[in-house]
Amino acid sequence: MIIKAAPRLEGIESYYFARKLKEIASLNAAGMEVLNLGIGSPDLLPDDKIISTLQTQSLDQKNHGYQSYSGIPALRRAICTWYQDWFSVSLDYQTEVLPLMGSKEGIMHICMSFLSAGDEVWVPNPGYPTYATCSKIAGAQVKYYDLTNSNGWLPNLAELGKEDLKKMKILWLNYPHMPTGAIISKAHLRELISFAKANEILLVYDNPYNFILNENPISILELEGAKDVCIELSSMSKAYNMAGWRVGYLASNREIVKTILKFKSNMDSGMFKPVQLATIEALKMDQSWFDSLNKVYQERRLIADKLLQHVGCKPANYGAGLFLWAEVEDEELDGERLSDQLLNDYGVFITPGFIFGRQGKNYLRISLCSEIAVFENAIERIKNKV
């Protein structure tokens, strides 16, 4: 007997990187030794204080039980203090922040809390594929708004305003933008907030790259009226080298947080307490932590750009975040074909831009999460056709 999958999974494919990692594993098993420059998983360590806190707290037998669905109060206070210190944003630790097991989890929670069949959402193209996937699983219809190089990879409000907005429920927004690295101004965010208010749309601002190669980090919650219609998502993965720890959080007004918590409390049993206590230490990191981190990424960005130019891409426009986004110069190639060629001929994997939407078809996205020696090795392989 064949048990059929639920209709909600029709048209939903496995995450691209889950499939690609299997392919790379097969190539490695065959002896290729692939240099993976595609995935944005930080290779650097968290600060020593973070790791030592996890170790010490894990030895306390009282810390191994079930935890609160909304996180321990000390972590929620730390998140609020972080917002106040960096952005002068005041939040109520009891009602306006919610720790998450990674912001990707938060995306699904938001979708399941606010979307129903017949609702519509706007997803950036190019953009993080999870926005569309989670929205579809929740039953919503996905519409894409195009981002272009000529417009600085920013939403075109004049074009969005021409659409029928009666069924539009959520607009997904992500800056510094992944995959392009584009940065948005406060003025543009104010326009988006006004647009969301006027059309009763929930604006979800995904902000995990705020402190990576970004000279002017901002929170959308700094702006007047944002909390009325916005949710801000953030993550410890990128800026604190804690990707595998699965820690994130969201912030908004109390009614929105209450609604998401209602769903979340039926999905998990709380985060491991030592991880929460270690996250508190991470949130205490000052500017020197980010300066040190960004010095490494600045050096890697230069060699990554050199590699991209070497494989036939235009020099990248430096933005923020953990990636470089570069256009393929050869008109007979697109990003997918060039990516496959690099993988199969040289054992070098660079992410093709098509996975982020049709606007990324002619682009490659390279990750900065490898040591300089790996980039140099990739260049040598291609030079020598090894």
- Say which CATH number the domain at 278 has: 3.40.640.10
Q: Within a domain: residue 83?
A: yes
Burial 186-204 (b: 16+ CB within 10 A, else e): eeebeebbebbeeeebbbb
Cα(first)–Cα(last) distance of the chain, in Å? 49
Chain centroid, CA 225 distance in Å:
24
293 shares a domain with 269:
no
Let me know if residue 364 belongs to a domain: yes
Q: Within 13 Å of residue 180, how many CA atoms lie on the same side as its CB? A: 28
Residues 20 and 122 in one domain: no
Residues 243 and 120 in one domain: yes
217/312 same-domain check: no
* Element holding 232 (H helix, E strand): strand 230-235
Q: Are residues 94 and 156 in the same domain?
A: yes
Say whether both 170 and 130 belong to one domain: yes
Distance between alpha carbon 113 and the CA centroid of its chain, in Å? 20
Count the Cβ atoms, other than its own, within 10 Å of residue 55. 11
* Beta-bridge partner residues of 327: 363
Q: How many domains does the chain have?
A: 2
Q: Select from 264, 282, 300 the last residue of a domain.
A: 282
What is the C-alpha to C-alpha distance for residues 188 and 115, in angstroms, rounded to an integer?
26
pLDDT for 66 equals 92
* 216 falls within a domain: yes
Q: Which of 238, 264, 282 is the last residue of a domain?
A: 282
Same structural domain, 84 and 40:
no
For residues 226 and 347, membership in a common domain is answered with no
- Report if residue 52 sits inside a domain: no
Q: What is the CATH number of the domain that holds 18?
A: 3.90.1150.10
pTM of the model: 0.93
Do 227 and 253 touch, CB atoms closer than 8 A? yes
Taking the C-alpha atoms of residue 180 and residue 303, their distance in angstroms, rounded to an integer, is 18
Q: Are 40 and 367 in contact (CB under 8 A)?
A: yes
Max Cα–Cα distance, the chain, nearest Å: 62
d(CA 52, CA 71): 20
> Of 239, 260, 282, which marks where a domain is finished?
282
Helices (H), 39-153: 48-58, 73-87, 103-114, 129-137
Does 53 map to a domain? no
Coil, helix or strand at residue 2: coil
| Cross-strand bridge partners of residue 348 | 35
Note the pLDDT of residue 112: 96
What percentage of the chain's residues is helix, strand, coil (to nearest 5)?
45, 15, 40
> Do 177 and 321 reside in the same domain of the chain?
no
pLDDT 10s per residue in the chain (386 long)?
588 888 888 877 766 777 777 888 888 888 888 899 998 899 999 999 999 999 999 999 999 999 999 999 999 999 999 999 999 999 999 999 999 998 999 999 999 999 999 999 999 999 999 999 999 999 999 999 999 999 999 999 999 888 889 999 999 999 999 999 999 999 999 999 999 999 999 999 999 999 999 999 999 999 999 999 999 999 999 999 999 999 999 999 999 999 999 999 998 889 999 999 999 999 999 999 999 999 999 999 999 999 999 999 988 788 999 999 999 998 888 999 999 999 999 999 999 999 999 999 999 999 999 999 999 999 999 887 64
Residues 226 and 337 grouped into a single domain = no
Residue 102 lies in a domain: yes
> Are the C-beta atoms of 80 and 280 separated by less than 8 Å?
no
Residues whose CB is less than 8 angstroms from the CB of residue 61 and which lie 6 or more positions away in sequence, other chains included? none
Structural domain span for residue 296: 7-45+287-384
Q: Are residues 151 and 256 in the same domain?
A: yes
What confidence score (pLDDT) does residue 1 get? 57
Within-domain flag for 50: no
Residue 55 lies in a domain: no
Neighbours of 327 (CB within 10 A): 18
Burial of 113 (0-12, 13-18, 19+ CB in 10 A): middle
Task: Identify whether residues 270 and 356 lie together within a single domain.
Answer: no
